């Protein structure tokens, strides 16, 4: 059993902990955090299904006052695991890395860290093999994770040499107040980091794109224009066939009721998924169109949960649990129930 710890029990950390708990070949040793946040209070109210460890600087008196039990220090947790999943706020992971290095423990960082924090910038499908046995991985951000899933899907089957993307980005997660109450769209400078990140992981694809922030919380939408490798056209039928056989891409239609990003959130809740989480990206069949030699389509990114499967792949890579992407992603998918809708 590979032993795993989670640092930072926030939006991503809670979901990473749940994801590891579902992998039958991994053991979640515990989670670490700094403060008795609402997520930690909810953990306590749920009967502490995961052991809690306190990071340096945590105010123990506050945890004691809230009657939240803890097992020990961050160092205690690090000493018990093979891999740490670091989902602390962006930039904090780089500091935590010093502790991982000292303890000789592998670590996987999330998208808010700089690329330099890790040896490999990782995606479970597009470059799994590069992560084999490596000490430090960094996962792609939520948008990039979903974007690469779809571009890699076409690339693997038909070859892709150019993409252009537009990201309609949700401004905050449900429950966030730190971005204020907004009613405006905001432009980012082009090219968006997701396009640059895609080129880092898939260097044979030339990518560019624009990002527009929108005042919504239930998922991002990305439109992608892709060009087949060497001018070999990817038709609508070819794209649809590839997407329909991918276990992390749920192909839907507008007519069946998937009108937009909120439809996915509601459907995930109807499925009984904890917190309305969805591991898969949604892809609208009705959005796939040809434009000259290009193929265009739109995907929905459930930002809070989309990176969980690729992080599980990351554990498999650094621990050499499987030696190739196909078998590793298949194991992760099996435990997370990915592809069960097909
Ligand atoms: N929120 C998203 O939609 C999303 C999607 C993909 C990737 N990410 C990335 O995931 C990472 C975490 O983001 P989040 O949204 O879960 O943040 P968050 O603020 O919800 O959670 C961070 C948690 O870390 C805790 N923390 C603070 N200092 C710590 C320390 N020194 N050690 C350990 N824990 C500490 C905080 O108390 C909090 O519970 C970031 O790199 C972010 O860019 C976020």
Strands 72-73 and 294-301 come out as: unpaired
How much is the pLDDT for 177? 84
So what's the pLDDT on residue 189?
A: 96
Which of 16, 118, 142, 283 does the annotation list as catalytic? 142
> pLDDT of 144-181, one tens digit each?
999 999 999 999 999 999 999 999 999 889 888 888 87
Alpha-carbon span 63 to 267, nearest angstrom = 36
Q: Ligand 1, closest atom to CA 7?
A: 33
Considering only CA atoms, which of 296, 284, 286, 285 is closest in space to residue 235?
296
Helix (H, G, I), strand (E, B) or coil at 35: coil
The pLDDT confidence band at residue 298, using thresholds 50, 70 and 90, is: very high
- Strand pairing class (26-33; 2-7): parallel
- Which tens digits make up the pLDDT trace of 118-147? 999 999 999 999 999 999 999 999 999 999
Strands (E), 34-79: 52-54, 72-73
85 SS3 class: strand
Cα 145 from chain centre = 6
- Is the separation of the CB atoms in 152 and 202 below 8 Å? yes
Q: What's the pLDDT score for residue 16?
A: 98
pTM, 2 dp:
0.88
Rounded to whole angstroms, what are the CA distances from 179 to 166, 186, 187, 328?
22, 12, 15, 37
Active-site residue flag, 142: yes
Q: How far is the CA of 87 from the centre of ligand 1 (A)?
A: 5
Alpha helices in 159-248 (DSSP H): 193-201, 236-244
Cβ–ligand 1 distance for 34 under 6 Å, the answer yes
pLDDT tens digits, 86-109: 999 999 999 999 999 999 999 999
Distance in Å, CA 38 to ligand 1 centroid: 13
Asked if pLDDT for residue 183 goes beyond 90, the answer is: no
Residues 252-276 pLDDT 10s: 999 999 999 999 999 999 999 999 9
List, in sequence order, every beta strand (DSSP E) within the chain. 2-7, 26-33, 52-54, 72-73, 83-86, 106-109, 120-122, 136-139, 160-170, 186-187, 206-214, 220-228, 249-252, 281-284, 289-291, 294-301
Render pLDDT for 23-78 as a digit per residue (tens, 0 to 9). 999 999 999 999 999 999 999 999 999 999 999 999 999 999 999 999 999 999 99
pLDDT, position 178: 85
């Amino acid at each position: 059993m590979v032993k795993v710890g989670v640092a930072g029990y926030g939006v991503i950390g809670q979901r990473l902990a749940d994801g590891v708990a579902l992998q039958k070949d991994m053991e979640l040793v515990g989670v670490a955090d700094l403060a008795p946040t609402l997520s930690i209070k909810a953990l306590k109210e749920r009967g502490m299904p995961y052991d809690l460890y306190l990071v340096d600087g945590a105010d123990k008196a506050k945890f004691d006052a809230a009657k939240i039990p803890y097992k020990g220090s961050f160092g205690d947790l690090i000493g018990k695991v093979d891999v740490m999943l670091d989902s602390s706020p962006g930039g904090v992971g780089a500091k935590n890395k010093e502790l991982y290095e000292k303890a000789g423990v592998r670590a996987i960082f999330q998208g808010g860290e700089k690329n330099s924090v890790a040896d490999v910038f990782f995606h479970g499908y597009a470059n799994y093999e590069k992560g084999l046995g490596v000490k430090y991985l960094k996962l792609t951000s939520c948008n990039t994770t979903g974007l690469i899933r779809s571009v890699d899907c076409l690339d693997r089957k038909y070859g892709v040499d150019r993409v252009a993307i537009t990201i309609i980005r949700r401004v905050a997660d449900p429950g966030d107040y730190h971005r204020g109450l907004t009613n405006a769209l905001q432009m980012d400078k082009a090219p968006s980091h997701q396009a640059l990140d895609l080129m880092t992981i898939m260097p044979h694809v030339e990518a560019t794109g624009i990002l527009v922030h929108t005042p919504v919380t239930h998922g991002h939408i990305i439109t992608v224009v892709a060009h087949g490798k060497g001018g070999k056209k990817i038709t609508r039928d070819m794209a649809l066939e590839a997407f329909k056989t991918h276990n992390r891409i749920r192909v839907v239609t507008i007519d069946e009721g998937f009108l937009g990003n909120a439809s996915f959130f509601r459907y995930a809740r109807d499925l009984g998924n904890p917190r309305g989480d969805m591991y898969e990206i949604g892809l609208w069949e009705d959005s796939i169109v040809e434009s000259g030699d290009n193929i265009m389509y739109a995907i929905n990114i459930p930002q809070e949960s989309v990176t969980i499967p690729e992080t599980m792949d990351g554990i498999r890579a650094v621990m050499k649990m499987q030696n190739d992407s196909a078998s590793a992603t298949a194991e992760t998918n099996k435990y997370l129930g990915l592809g069960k809708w097909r």
